[in-house]
Structure 1
């Protein structure tokens, strides 16, 4: 049987060396090397869209690939394309890295400089595993083939600043514009997304905490389909169960959501733990919600510094949203930007709780009136962040009233640090 092998190597010299050695393996059919993580995912998605059988049996990932780090890339490939055996090529063959690579979903590890015998053994083992998985999956196997969506995390500088309202309205705006949208509640001890959207639920993110490989079918079983069209992954009803969610499971969950939806909004609440820290690190856009008062702005500054110390997110990669803003307040957005070192969104959310009260008390934020200035501002923020589809010329204008002139996409950093 011929084994198709796809090397993923950014360095030209290393690519030549690996390709030369692969061509000497018996029954091996090495493809031309792929130079970065984005090209790899695009290539595999294109092949999987035709058939699982079109995928290579083995993917070799070099340790210095980018922009997504090697272990993160292996995790994404293992999640989206479980019929592909991934082997990590690295100079560090320590037990610690071996364990981390296996946890990410690799089927083997090959040390540098390359040895013919070791490479042949690892490729053969990964290929055999791949063939077995394909036999199990059968035609049209259960794999993710989507392009991968935009992940936005929403955190609060402190409690009560409007984090959940912001997250919910951003998700509603993206869904209403025609984007497939998921909303995850990772305020694990006290999440209220279900209360704001009038949802009674049995399944939650905890149901995914012990699953090693989250397939599309497994994810679908845990997601609640809301009447608005949003897919909801909710926090546990029993707050103490939030401790069952760790960094590894969050990374799997976020990757699964990213590959199912065009837009994923994650409510991270105000308390930092390893779970929502992982979500913030993986996000394309990170929002920090504050109100224009001394206590909240100081809390925002502390949060930004905490993220920087933990190497989760740099200040300049964070977008601060000023909620409950009034023109005569002493603390204006430029001052917030200067104090926190973040980028403050051009859209500010007005202070008008009276507009929200009826919808909040009824637990039906989806019914907030279109003329609400708060809703217009939040949907305008969604436009500024690039979360909504822009209407074609000739379509009705004003669907996202308040977002004119705010179409610039605010992307966070690349996945590599």
Structure 2
């Protein structure tokens, strides 16, 4: 079988050297090298949009790539294109860098100066892994045909601001418009998605936390098929088990979800730990829900600063949603934007809790009436985010359905 190899090398001399050696490998089909991280991601996205089979089996990332550093680029490729085997080419072959490369998603490391035997071995191993993943993803005839669906992380500035209601209604809106939609509850200690949607299900996100290779069948077994059409991945019934879900497992879980669903909405709750922080970091869109009061706005500001210090996400990359908005309050969306430094959604959600009380008490949020002003506002927000499919099949408004954001490590992250 021919192995297609795409080198990503920032230095012209190094690119020639790598390409020459690759051309000598048996059954290898080197593709013209790309010179920077942006070109690599754009090339892979274009190929993936055509078909999974168009992607190269192996990508070589040289340590001199830029502007995104090599490890961060590897992480982005591994998350967005999980069927591609990535190999790092570097002069530093220390155990520390090897471990960091593996944590980022690399399938191998080749030292400089290049050795034919080592390069052949690493490429062959990565290609074999890639072929196995593609066979696995192709099981049942429903392999992904693109870089994956969009991920929306919904976080509350503090408890009680309406985080779960927002997440549930966004997911219901996307599902009702025809998108295959998953709703994941990563409020690991006190998630309420099951209660809001009248679900009793033994499996949870914890069942996926220790699995290294999440196949479509394993993922399906952990999901609950809700009558509304949503696929639910629930928080554990026993909150202490949430500690079993790590940031690494969240990245694997969300990567698996986005290959299977067009829209993935994640309820991150209000308590930040490494697991839901990883979800915020991976998300194409991060929503921060706030109510128009001093305590909530201050909490939102603290949350944004926390994300900034941990290099999870910049303030300007965060979209704040004002919930329970009333015209008489002094705290209006422009003030929230000024205080938090975030962008504020054009859509605000009115303070009409009486509309919600009966469905919340019954645990049937999916039965909220269409005439509800709260539902209308949240579905309008879904349209603003581009989660609602227009009659012609395109997103109705807002951002593109498939985001271009990648992901970086929680502690080794970078500002974008």
TM-score (norm 1): 0.86
Which of 39, 44, 58 is the matching residue for 1:40? 44
Structure 2: 5+ residue stretches without partners? 408-415
Aligned residues between the structures: 397
Matches within 5 A, 1:49-128: 57-63=57-63, 64=65, 69-76=72-79, 80-81=82-83, 85-127=85-127
Asked if the contact 1:187/1:267 (under 8 Å) is kept, the reply is yes
Please show how residues 8-407 of structure 1 align to structure 2 within 5 Å.
8-9=7-8, 11=10, 13=12, 14-33=14-33, 35-43=39-47, 46=50, 48=52, 57-63=57-63, 64=65, 69-76=72-79, 80-81=82-83, 85-127=85-127, 133=132, 144-147=143-146, 148-392=148-392, 407=397
Residue 7 of structure 1 corresponds to: 6
Cα distance in 2 for residues equivalent to 1:350 and 1:272:
26
Query: For the structure 1 residues 129 and 284, does the alpha-carbon distance in structure 2 shift closer, same or farther, using more than 3 Å as the test?
Result: closer
**Bigger CA drift: 289-298 or 60-69?**
60-69
| C-alpha contact (below 8 Å) 2:41/2:77 kept by paired residues | no
Shift of the alpha carbon at 1:93?
2.3
SS in 1 for 2:289: strand
C-alpha root-mean-square deviation of aligned residues, in Å?
A: 2.9
Distance 1:258 1:38, change over 3 A: farther
Q: Distance between the aligned counterparts of 2:262 and 2:7, measured in 1?
A: 26
Q: What CA distance in whole angstroms lies between the structure 2 residues aligned with 1:119 and 1:390? A: 48
Would the alpha carbon gap of residues 143 and 90 (structure 1) be closer, same or farther in structure 2, given more than 3 Å must change? Answer: farther
Tell me: CA distance 1:367–1:265, structure 2 relative to 1, closer, same or farther (3 Å). same
8 Å CA contact retained: 1:171, 1:181: yes
- Tell me how far apart the structure 1 counterparts of residues 133 and 385 of structure 2 sit (CA, whole Å): 40
CA distance in 1, matches of 2:49, 2:97: 27
Tell me how far apart the structure 2 counterparts of residues 171 and 322 of structure 1 sit (CA, whole Å): 18
Q: Matched residue of 1:387: which SS?
A: coil
Compute the displacement of 1:274 (Å). 0.2
TM-score, normalized by length of structure 2?
A: 0.87
- How far does residue 12 in structure 1 lie from its aligned partner after superposition? 6.4
| Counterpart contact for 2:153–2:286, Cα < 8 Å | yes
* C-alpha contact 1:185 1:235 (8 A) present in aligned 2: yes
User: Quick one: structure 1 residues 180 and 225, their matched pair in 2 at CA, closer, same or farther if it must change by over 3 Å?
Assistant: same
1:69 is paired with a residue of what secondary structure?
Answer: helix
Change (3 A) 1:110 1:141: farther
Write the distance in 2 (CA, Å) between the matches of 1:103 and 1:45.
Answer: 27
Larger mean Cα displacement after TM superposition, 24-33 or 57-66 = 57-66
Q: Is 1:6–1:33's contact at 8 Å kept on the other side of the alignment?
A: no
Q: Is the 8 A contact 1:152 1:264 kept in 2?
A: yes
Q: 1:102 Cα shift?
A: 2.9
In structure 2, distance between residues paired with 1:186 and 1:243: 11
Question: 5+ residue gaps in structure 1?
Answer: 394-402
> How far 1:223 moved relative to its partner?
0.9
CA distance in 2 between partners of 1:139 and 1:149 (Å): 17
Task: Check whether the contact 1:80–1:143 (CA below 8 A) recurs between aligned residues.
Answer: no
Change (3 A) 1:166 1:123: same
